[in-house]
Amino acid sequence: MTLPLSLHLYRLATGAIEPLAPLLLRRRARQGKEDTARLGERIGRPSIPRPPGRLVWMHGVSVGESLSLLPLIDRLRTSRPDITLLTTSGTRASAEVLAQRLPASVIHQYVPLDLPGAAGRFLDYWRPEAAVFVESELWPNLILGAAARGTRLALVSARLSGGSLATWEHARGTALALFGAFELILARDPDAAEKLRELGARVDGVADLKLGAAPLPVDEVELKYLRASLAGRPMILAASTHAGEEALVLDAFARARSDEMHPVLVIAPRHIERASAITALANQHGLSTGLRSARADLAGLDVYVADTIGEFGLFYRLARLAFLGGSLVPGLGGHNPLEPARLSCPVVSGDRIENWPIFHELERRDALVLVDRADALEGVVREAINNPEALQAMARTAHAYVAGRDLETSQAVEHIMTLLDR
């Protein structure tokens, strides 16, 4: 394939800045954005030996994308036990969650920066037979370098935002070259498939890897302990919240609560380093607060800040209602409604949810509540505290719908399995 000039220029530009990469990474590490002990992985210097034999590489940039690979990983381990599985991600949070969730036999590395030398070292060292990229991770040096080395590539749950579609339309030759490197493209949904085809991409089907997953796991000992600590008190969960949302949730909770019911609000921020700021906000509302990381006793607390990673399986099982963050402030696009639905936890979300079309599918089925303003959130929280049965039918509908979609995606995974047999 003859590459467009834009990709040649991209390679030259990224090669020119590559000598600055160690300096940039050390600066990010000082800011807590990189793992100091594993900075070498980000410039294509692996930290562990490559096992002999066949190897398949799977990449998801952050927590949600990485976790969506778990069903595929389980399937590959069962059907291809002779193949080594390598997963890469780009954030510290994703690495921490995967350390808890990945089987011991699956290797995790940080994905290298998309620089010619770093990408080449990574690919020459791991020599993947096939690679699966999730959503919209289109890094030219990695993708084209892998294809040039004979790696069979799949892009799964592929999607384009309105903004990225407009950008790619002005670089159609670049888009065609990158999409053309993939032997298999499965769009996240029919709308995403249409956008990809508008750019000239070949789309082989539809599969959203965030569907098809198992319910989130739970530590049964912790579940029993927290349930006993609640002693029948209603729990409201604010999950994956962002700056600006906690104040709105705290306002709604403070107005909806009653001394008679004495509910507890669990706030699980998207970025746990914001725990102290959230504690200060709760204290300004006159609410007693404790931290999960400090093993605070729930008894007597009004607000419990879950500043830990990987425990949503615990809190969704305990909550009467889960508010999903990233949805009341602009620019974030909402967070995953599938995880609470699989555990029959009622869901309320703001209406800024452009990253998750399935919200609208669930709303049409009366399977969750979308609110367009903070005062509407108060009414749903009040209902969960005082009349939880009214929300249970909604949660059952969501569970049934998502279970059906999970089954469809599990069947679509067969397309990915055939990539190994070509």
Which pLDDT belongs to residue 314? 97
Which pLDDT belongs to residue 152? 95
Which pLDDT belongs to residue 213? 79
Which pLDDT belongs to residue 412? 64
Pair 175, 181: CB distance under 8 Å: no
Which pLDDT belongs to residue 419? 78
| Structural domains of the chain, ranges and CATH numbers in brackets | 5-210 (3.40.50.11720), 220-404 (3.40.50.2000)
Which pLDDT belongs to residue 371? 95
Low-confidence ranges of the chain (pLDDT < 70): 1, 162-163, 411-412, 422
Which pLDDT belongs to residue 1? 64
The string of pLDDT tens digits covering residues 342-372 is 999 999 999 999 878 889 999 999 999 999 8
Which pLDDT belongs to residue 400? 96
Both ends of the chain: CA-CA distance in Å?
A: 20
Residue with tokens 């709105």: 248
Which pLDDT belongs to residue 416? 78
Which pLDDT belongs to residue 325? 97
- Global pTM reads 0.69
